[in-house]
Amino acid sequence: MSRVNCRVLRRRRRHQVASGAAGVHGRHDARCPFSTPGGSRWVAKDDARWTNGSPAPGTVDVRRRDATPTFPILPSAMSVLTIRTFEEGDEAGLGRLLDRCFGRFETWTADRVAEFAARPGSDMAELWVALDGSRHVGCVRAFGVAGAGTYVIRELGVDAELPDSVTGRLLDVVLEHLGSLNPILIRASTLNVAPYPDAYRRRGFIPVRRALTLVWDLIGLPLGPVSNGPVVVGDAFRHSPERLAEVYVEGMRPYWDWFIDERGGAEGYKRRVAAHIAGLVRDGGNEMWLVAEVESEAVGLSLVSDLDEEEADMGGVYVLPTHRNKGLGSALMRATLSGLQERAKRRLVVPETTSFLDSDIPSIRLYKRTGARVRAEYLHLQLDWAGVQPGG
């Protein structure tokens, strides 16, 4: 994830809305993503909703963070809903919300929130939370990526008992903020369950691909022989970090070109991967890298890392395009699964791997052939911001 280091934890941007109120539509001045230089001044975008400087009936005054909100009559089932950016002290409530919304289906888990918030200089201003009184009932995360003008929205989650309009309000608040940053493209990833995909579609997002969470149950999983003809599978670290980075990045093409672009392009991404590999503990670490060789040349690799004593995280199987359809991927998968069984792992998980909207890409077909089952499905969507603005 490409991050923008702007400390705004002490600058509270609040949007107070009530169940049944109209959504928030505004624009705030910002020079740096996820920060509000000079305060959080909000300006109404739809002037027709304002009369003599006051909000029209059924709307909320969010022009200044110190303004006194005006609320319509609240239904008895819900108190005032507050939407604001993450603040210190939110960790526990947010963690419980994430567990309720996503459980083990989502990568941005309660443990990751606690770990991230504990880092020195951590900036959680990219994360918005919705509170019903003091209870965390919704969240959404947004961040910038390496490509100028591109932003990503993830982890849109709301308690199931709340009305779908709360999901829309959270999304509107984030889109208002991103809109002030002059975006070119806004991408989103969401669980493919109601009400999330429809909330994005109603705001102009178009589905572009699916993503799946896959899991292998390793206990008793039958495996074939590891070797496959001329393919040799072994420890990846006998090759240079630069060669392994080359196989890793080029092995993503063409299905993950968008992912490479988000990380600054192929050459920069290869350098970062090579630096990571060079810093790995070769023995006794929590990552297992295997390489597939043809005539002693590294042309494919797989990688896994430990999540806990029983579960491992699958980082993927990567084969150079010129060496595909020759059994290398299958050989790598068999060796990976066999190695995990030897280490007494019970499960292997792919947290998220992308595919076509209406069919599986080759890597997912490989995973399913070797015993993986689908645990969760996501949608990736995108919004051409210029195309939805007046004159765009």
* pLDDT tens readout for residues 179-234: 998 899 999 999 998 899 999 999 999 999 999 999 999 998 988 666 556 778 99
Distance CA(144)–CA(3), nearest Å, equals: 6
Contact 187, 204 (CB under 8 A): no
pLDDT digits (tens, 9 = 90+) for 151-191: 999 989 999 888 888 999 999 999 999 999 889 999 999 99
Distance CA(218)–CA(114), nearest Å, equals: 29
Contact 246, 297 (CB under 8 A): no
| Strand ranges inside the chain, DSSP E | 14-17, 26-28, 42-44, 50-51, 54-55, 81-85, 127-132, 135-144, 150-158, 185-191, 206-217, 232-235, 287-294, 297-306, 311-319, 347-355, 373-384
Bridge partners of residue 141, in order along the sequence: 127, 154
Q: Which of 20-24, 253-257, 273-277 has the lowest average pLDDT?
A: 20-24
Question: What pLDDT is attached to residue 226?
Answer: 60
Question: What pLDDT is attached to residue 351?
Answer: 86
Q: Under CATH, domain 14-203 is a member of which superfamily?
A: Gcn5-related N-acetyltransferase (GNAT) (3.40.630.30)
Distance CA(173)–CA(23), nearest Å, equals: 9
Question: What pLDDT is attached to residue 358?
Answer: 93
Distance CA(78)–CA(361), nearest Å, equals: 44
Distance CA(294)–CA(230), nearest Å, equals: 7
Segment (H or E) for 271: helix 266-278
What is the band of 285 on the pLDDT scale with cuts at 50, 70, 90? Answer: low
Domains 14-203 and 214-376 share a fold: yes
Q: Which CATH class is domain 214-376?
A: alpha beta
Question: What pLDDT is attached to residue 213?
Answer: 92
**C-alpha 286, offset from chain centre:** 23
Question: What pLDDT is attached to residue 263?
Answer: 79
What is the band of 281 on the pLDDT scale with cuts at 50, 70, 90? Answer: low
Question: What pLDDT is attached to residue 319?
Answer: 96
Report whether pLDDT(75) > 50.
no
Distance CA(248)–CA(28), nearest Å, equals: 41
Nearest to 292 by CA among 248, 345, 358: 248
- Per domain, the residue ranges of the chain are 14-203, 214-376
